[in-house]
Structure 1
Amino acid sequence: MKSKGLIESEISKALTQWEKDYLGRGSVSVKTDILRDMIIVNLKGILSPAELTICGTKEGMISIKRTRSDLVESGIEELKEIIRQITGEETKSFYTDISTVTGERVMVFKLGTNYEEMIVKK
């Protein structure tokens, strides 16, 4: 059985690769945490310098948030499959948001079971 840290690391690496393959560029750093029935992923440095410049106006910020959200949502089935392959668990719901100030994205995969408890017990 894999350790919690190893699973978190595998998820971080897989999501970084997904970003590169699907979105054309990856984040600067990724940190994944498993907490109860959630997999929380913090991706830093996902906005390009041009996108950060556009975020200087309210209209630009809204545009970037909408576009980035649409891009991630269009690949949600692949993201859920990555989580399933690594954990063996199905994603029941998915949440994401991006900070146009820090250039960070947070993803939360909500599972149907207390996955943290499962992997710590084994």
Structure 2
Amino acid sequence: MNYLRQLGILLAICVLGDVLSVLIGKVLPGNVLGMMLLLVLLGVRLIKCRQVEHAADFFLKNMAIFFLPVSLGILGLYAELHSQLAAILAVCLITTFLTAFATAGTVHLVLRLQQRKAAQKGGDR
């Protein structure tokens, strides 16, 4: 029963994200708004991690299954995409490297901030 309650919470937030998307004129997709809403609710502690962790873990462990329909849909459009294959691959490679660099930069920044904070704590004694 706990899994159903957690799934219900996640689905309710997803539906609320879709409703918000319609209300703002579909400027942002409902799933993105739902994830942002979940982040805010977790951040302000209206929802505790333990209230959704088992359902969220299930989705994370089975994420590959959710990409299967999209992948098959892309394969169905192969004939139309074939002429643009080089451009699509270039965009995939470039964005992969940009994401890796952004992630590395973020990790580097966070580590520097943590070291600075630790040094300040050490100096306060």
Greater RCO (CA < 8 Å, at least 6 residues apart): 1
TM-score normalised to structure 1 length:
0.28
Structure in which a larger fraction of residues adopt strand: 1
Structure in which a larger fraction of residues adopt helix: 2
